[in-house]
Amino acid sequence: MGKKSIAITEDTIIQIGKSMAIGHYIDYFRQLTGKELPNGEHNIWLKAHIGKPIKEALVSYRDVSEPKKMEQKLSEERFDNMPDKKFIIAFDKLLEDIGYDYGGGIGEGYGWGKYMIIYGKTGTKSRPCPVRIYINDDGTIYFRLFLTKVDKHMKYIENSPAHIKNAFTFEGGDCKSCNTSCSPGKIYTIDGQLMCKCNHSTFYFHWISIDILPDIMELLAKFYPVKKQKKI
Protein backbone atom coordinates (compact mmCIF):
# COMPACT_ATOMS: atom_id res chain seq x y z
CA MET A 1 0.00 0.00 0.00
CA GLY A 2 1.51 3.36 -1.11
CA LYS A 3 2.08 6.33 1.13
CA LYS A 4 -0.69 8.88 1.41
CA SER A 5 0.19 12.25 -0.13
CA ILE A 6 0.37 15.10 2.35
CA ALA A 7 -1.91 18.02 1.57
CA ILE A 8 -0.21 21.41 1.21
CA THR A 9 -1.84 24.54 2.61
CA GLU A 10 -0.65 28.13 3.08
CA ASP A 11 0.34 27.21 6.65
CA THR A 12 2.51 24.28 5.60
CA ILE A 13 6.16 24.66 6.65
CA ILE A 14 8.48 23.99 3.73
CA GLN A 15 10.54 20.88 4.39
CA ILE A 16 12.17 18.79 1.70
CA GLY A 17 12.48 15.07 2.18
CA LYS A 18 10.87 11.71 1.57
CA SER A 19 7.46 13.00 2.65
CA MET A 20 7.45 15.96 0.27
CA ALA A 21 9.39 16.34 -2.97
CA ILE A 22 10.48 19.67 -4.44
CA GLY A 23 8.13 19.16 -7.37
CA HIS A 24 5.07 18.99 -5.09
CA TYR A 25 5.81 22.42 -3.62
CA ILE A 26 6.54 23.96 -7.01
CA ASP A 27 3.31 22.55 -8.45
CA TYR A 28 1.40 24.08 -5.52
CA PHE A 29 2.96 27.52 -6.01
CA ARG A 30 2.37 27.30 -9.76
CA GLN A 31 -1.31 26.46 -9.31
CA LEU A 32 -1.77 29.09 -6.61
CA THR A 33 -0.18 31.96 -8.55
CA GLY A 34 -0.46 30.93 -12.18
CA LYS A 35 3.22 31.87 -12.46
CA GLU A 36 6.36 29.90 -13.26
CA LEU A 37 9.84 30.39 -11.79
CA PRO A 38 12.62 31.11 -14.31
CA ASN A 39 14.30 28.05 -15.74
CA GLY A 40 16.83 26.48 -13.38
CA GLU A 41 15.76 28.35 -10.24
CA HIS A 42 13.26 25.91 -8.70
CA ASN A 43 15.71 24.04 -6.46
CA ILE A 44 17.68 27.10 -5.41
CA TRP A 45 14.60 29.14 -4.56
CA LEU A 46 12.89 26.38 -2.59
CA LYS A 47 16.01 25.46 -0.58
CA ALA A 48 16.34 29.12 0.43
CA HIS A 49 12.85 28.97 1.96
CA ILE A 50 13.12 25.75 3.97
CA GLY A 51 11.56 26.26 7.40
CA LYS A 52 9.24 29.04 6.23
CA PRO A 53 5.46 28.72 5.86
CA ILE A 54 4.03 28.70 2.36
CA LYS A 55 2.21 32.01 2.88
CA GLU A 56 5.49 33.74 3.76
CA ALA A 57 7.35 32.27 0.79
CA LEU A 58 4.49 33.21 -1.53
CA VAL A 59 5.54 36.87 -1.65
CA SER A 60 9.05 35.88 -2.74
CA TYR A 61 7.72 33.40 -5.32
CA ARG A 62 5.61 36.08 -7.00
CA ASP A 63 8.58 38.46 -7.09
CA VAL A 64 11.09 35.95 -8.45
CA SER A 65 8.67 34.70 -11.12
CA GLU A 66 8.40 38.19 -12.65
CA PRO A 67 10.68 38.71 -15.70
CA LYS A 68 13.72 40.84 -14.82
CA LYS A 69 16.52 42.52 -16.66
CA MET A 70 19.98 41.38 -15.58
CA GLU A 71 20.64 44.47 -13.46
CA GLN A 72 17.44 43.78 -11.48
CA LYS A 73 18.27 40.09 -11.20
CA LEU A 74 21.72 40.74 -9.72
CA SER A 75 20.18 43.00 -7.08
CA GLU A 76 18.83 39.87 -5.33
CA GLU A 77 20.37 39.29 -1.90
CA ARG A 78 22.13 36.08 -2.98
CA PHE A 79 24.39 38.14 -5.26
CA ASP A 80 25.42 40.77 -2.69
CA ASN A 81 29.04 39.52 -2.55
CA MET A 82 29.69 39.82 -6.30
CA PRO A 83 32.45 42.27 -7.31
CA ASP A 84 31.92 41.92 -11.07
CA LYS A 85 28.24 42.78 -11.53
CA LYS A 86 29.06 45.59 -13.97
CA PHE A 87 30.88 43.12 -16.22
CA ILE A 88 27.90 40.75 -16.35
CA ILE A 89 25.43 43.59 -16.95
CA ALA A 90 27.55 44.99 -19.80
CA PHE A 91 28.09 41.50 -21.32
CA ASP A 92 24.38 40.74 -21.02
CA LYS A 93 23.46 43.92 -22.93
CA LEU A 94 25.90 43.12 -25.75
CA LEU A 95 24.56 39.56 -26.05
CA GLU A 96 21.00 40.83 -26.03
CA ASP A 97 21.86 43.17 -28.91
CA ILE A 98 22.81 40.18 -31.09
CA GLY A 99 19.78 38.07 -30.18
CA TYR A 100 20.71 36.11 -27.05
CA ASP A 101 19.33 36.28 -23.51
CA TYR A 102 19.69 34.50 -20.18
CA GLY A 103 16.09 33.28 -20.06
CA GLY A 104 15.37 35.13 -16.81
CA GLY A 105 16.87 32.48 -14.51
CA ILE A 106 20.17 32.05 -12.70
CA GLY A 107 20.27 28.45 -11.56
CA GLU A 108 22.64 26.02 -9.84
CA GLY A 109 26.21 25.70 -11.07
CA TYR A 110 26.33 21.88 -10.91
CA GLY A 111 30.03 21.71 -10.05
CA TRP A 112 31.20 24.64 -12.19
CA GLY A 113 30.25 27.19 -9.53
CA LYS A 114 27.50 28.05 -7.07
CA TYR A 115 25.36 29.58 -9.81
CA MET A 116 25.30 29.48 -13.59
CA ILE A 117 23.93 31.90 -16.19
CA ILE A 118 23.08 30.20 -19.48
CA TYR A 119 22.54 32.29 -22.61
CA GLY A 120 20.42 31.04 -25.50
CA LYS A 121 19.21 32.26 -28.86
CA THR A 122 15.91 34.10 -28.52
CA GLY A 123 12.95 33.02 -30.64
CA THR A 124 14.15 29.42 -30.97
CA LYS A 125 13.07 26.21 -29.22
CA SER A 126 16.55 24.72 -28.96
CA ARG A 127 18.13 28.01 -27.74
CA PRO A 128 21.71 27.38 -29.00
CA CYS A 129 24.11 28.47 -26.25
CA PRO A 130 27.18 30.64 -27.02
CA VAL A 131 28.07 31.62 -23.44
CA ARG A 132 27.79 30.44 -19.86
CA ILE A 133 28.83 32.56 -16.91
CA TYR A 134 29.75 30.80 -13.67
CA ILE A 135 29.49 32.44 -10.23
CA ASN A 136 31.69 31.01 -7.46
CA ASP A 137 30.88 30.82 -3.74
CA ASP A 138 32.92 33.95 -3.10
CA GLY A 139 31.07 35.91 -5.80
CA THR A 140 33.93 35.87 -8.33
CA ILE A 141 33.05 34.82 -11.87
CA TYR A 142 34.47 33.25 -15.00
CA PHE A 143 32.84 32.38 -18.28
CA ARG A 144 33.01 29.89 -21.10
CA LEU A 145 32.33 30.21 -24.83
CA PHE A 146 30.89 27.26 -26.76
CA LEU A 147 32.70 27.14 -30.07
CA THR A 148 32.89 24.64 -32.92
CA LYS A 149 34.81 24.36 -36.23
CA VAL A 150 37.75 26.21 -34.73
CA ASP A 151 40.06 25.58 -37.70
CA LYS A 152 37.75 27.67 -39.87
CA HIS A 153 38.85 30.71 -37.84
CA MET A 154 42.46 29.65 -37.25
CA LYS A 155 44.12 32.76 -38.77
CA TYR A 156 41.89 35.09 -36.78
CA ILE A 157 42.67 33.29 -33.51
CA GLU A 158 46.42 33.16 -34.23
CA ASN A 159 46.44 36.96 -34.58
CA SER A 160 44.18 37.64 -31.59
CA PRO A 161 45.28 39.35 -28.34
CA ALA A 162 46.74 37.05 -25.69
CA HIS A 163 43.59 37.11 -23.54
CA ILE A 164 41.70 35.58 -26.49
CA LYS A 165 44.35 33.27 -27.89
CA ASN A 166 45.21 31.78 -24.48
CA ALA A 167 41.74 30.22 -24.29
CA PHE A 168 42.75 28.06 -27.27
CA THR A 169 46.44 27.42 -26.55
CA PHE A 170 46.32 26.72 -22.80
CA GLU A 171 48.40 23.92 -21.33
CA GLY A 172 46.70 20.77 -20.05
CA GLY A 173 43.13 19.70 -20.58
CA ASP A 174 44.08 17.19 -23.27
CA CYS A 175 41.53 14.62 -24.38
CA LYS A 176 42.23 11.22 -22.83
CA SER A 177 39.36 9.44 -24.61
CA CYS A 178 37.77 8.71 -21.25
CA ASN A 179 34.26 9.09 -22.63
CA THR A 180 33.35 7.56 -25.97
CA SER A 181 30.36 9.88 -26.35
CA CYS A 182 32.59 12.95 -26.79
CA SER A 183 35.96 11.46 -27.79
CA PRO A 184 38.19 12.68 -29.42
CA GLY A 185 37.19 16.05 -27.98
CA LYS A 186 38.02 19.39 -29.61
CA ILE A 187 40.63 19.10 -32.35
CA TYR A 188 42.15 22.16 -34.01
CA THR A 189 45.50 23.57 -35.08
CA ILE A 190 47.00 26.83 -33.78
CA ASP A 191 50.43 28.10 -34.96
CA GLY A 192 51.07 24.73 -36.56
CA GLN A 193 50.46 22.85 -33.32
CA LEU A 194 47.72 20.23 -33.23
CA MET A 195 45.44 20.61 -30.22
CA CYS A 196 43.26 17.76 -28.96
CA LYS A 197 41.42 19.08 -25.94
CA CYS A 198 38.81 17.56 -23.65
CA ASN A 199 35.39 18.99 -24.47
CA HIS A 200 34.99 20.07 -20.85
CA SER A 201 38.27 22.00 -20.69
CA THR A 202 37.94 24.39 -23.59
CA PHE A 203 37.41 28.11 -24.05
CA TYR A 204 37.24 29.36 -20.47
CA PHE A 205 38.01 32.97 -19.59
CA HIS A 206 39.11 33.84 -16.05
CA TRP A 207 40.35 37.38 -16.65
CA ILE A 208 37.30 39.54 -15.97
CA SER A 209 37.43 43.10 -17.27
CA ILE A 210 34.98 45.21 -19.24
CA ASP A 211 37.95 46.15 -21.44
CA ILE A 212 38.04 42.67 -23.02
CA LEU A 213 34.36 42.65 -24.04
CA PRO A 214 34.91 44.17 -27.52
CA ASP A 215 37.39 41.36 -28.27
CA ILE A 216 35.02 38.72 -26.87
CA MET A 217 32.14 40.01 -28.98
CA GLU A 218 34.34 40.10 -32.08
CA LEU A 219 35.31 36.48 -31.44
CA LEU A 220 31.68 35.47 -30.96
CA ALA A 221 30.75 37.21 -34.22
CA LYS A 222 33.10 34.83 -36.05
CA PHE A 223 31.43 31.73 -34.61
CA TYR A 224 27.89 33.10 -34.24
CA PRO A 225 27.41 35.54 -37.13
CA VAL A 226 24.29 37.65 -36.96
CA LYS A 227 22.11 36.94 -39.97
CA LYS A 228 21.03 39.99 -41.89
CA GLN A 229 17.30 40.46 -42.23
CA LYS A 230 15.97 40.06 -45.74
CA LYS A 231 14.68 43.24 -47.33
CA ILE A 232 10.99 43.14 -48.18
Report the distance separating Cα 222 and Cα 56, nearest Å. Answer: 48
pLDDT digits (tens, 9 = 90+) for 9-42: 889 999 877 567 888 888 999 998 999 888 778 8
pLDDT digits (tens, 9 = 90+) for 130-163: 999 999 999 999 999 999 999 999 999 999 999 9
DSSP 56-83: HHHHHHHHHTS---HHHHTTSGGGTT-S
pLDDT digits (tens, 9 = 90+) for 195-225: 999 988 999 999 899 999 999 999 999 999 9
pLDDT digits (tens, 9 = 90+) for 43-82: 888 888 999 999 999 999 998 898 899 999 999 989 999 9
Q: How many CA atoms lie within 13 A of 112 on its CB side?
A: 19
Q: Quickly state the pLDDT bin for 189 (edges 50, 70, 90).
A: very high
SS3 content of the chain, % helix, strand, coil (to 5): 35, 15, 50
- Please check the confidence at residue 83 and state whether its pLDDT lies above 70: yes
- Please check the confidence at residue 123 and state whether its pLDDT lies above 60: yes
pLDDT of residue 19: 64
> Could you tell me the sign of the dihedral formed by the alpha carbons of 71, 98, 125, 146, in that order?
negative
Q: Quickly state the pLDDT bin for 1 (edges 50, 70, 90).
A: very low
pLDDT, mean of residues 166-190: 86
* DSSP one-letter code for 114: S
Question: Does 184 sit behind a cis peptide bond, omega within 30 degrees of 0 on the bond before it?
Answer: yes
